[in-house]
Amino acid sequence: MRGSMLLVAVALAACGDAPARFIDAARDAHAQADALVRAGDPARAARVLEGFTARAVPAGIAAQDRRVVLQDTHARLAELALKTGNPGRARDAATAGLALGEGRDAFTASLLTLRGHAEEALGRDVEAARDYEAAQKIAEALLEQALADGGAR
pLDDT tens string 17-64: 888 889 999 999 999 999 999 999 999 999 999 999 999 999 889 999
Overall number of domains in the chain: 1
Structure pTM? Answer: 0.85
Is residue 36 domain-resident? Answer: yes
In a domain? residue 62? yes
Long-range contacts of 79-85 (CB under 8 A, 24+ apart): 79/114, 80/33, 80/37, 80/42, 80/45, 80/46, 80/49, 81/46, 81/118, 82/114, 82/117, 82/118, 82/121, 83/42, 84/42, 84/43
Q: What is the pLDDT of residue 49?
A: 98
d(CA 102, CA 106): 10
Residue 102 belongs to a domain: yes
- What would the mean pLDDT of 105-121 be, rounded to a whole number? 97
Q: Has residue 43 been placed in a domain? A: yes
Residue 12 has pLDDT above 50, yes or no: no
68 domain residue, yes or no: yes
The boundaries of the domain holding residue 63 are: 2-148
pLDDT higher for 25 or 7? 25
Residue 107 belongs to some domain of the structure:
yes
Look at residue 153 and tell me if it is in a domain. no
| CA distance linking residue 85 with residue 98, whole number of Å | 21
pLDDT of residue 1: 55
| Phi and psi torsions of 84, nearest 5° | -100, 15
CATH of the domain at 123: 1.25.40.10
Question: Which candidate, 128, 4, 131, 96, places its Cα nearest to that of 26?
Answer: 4
Average pLDDT over the chain, rounded to whole? 90
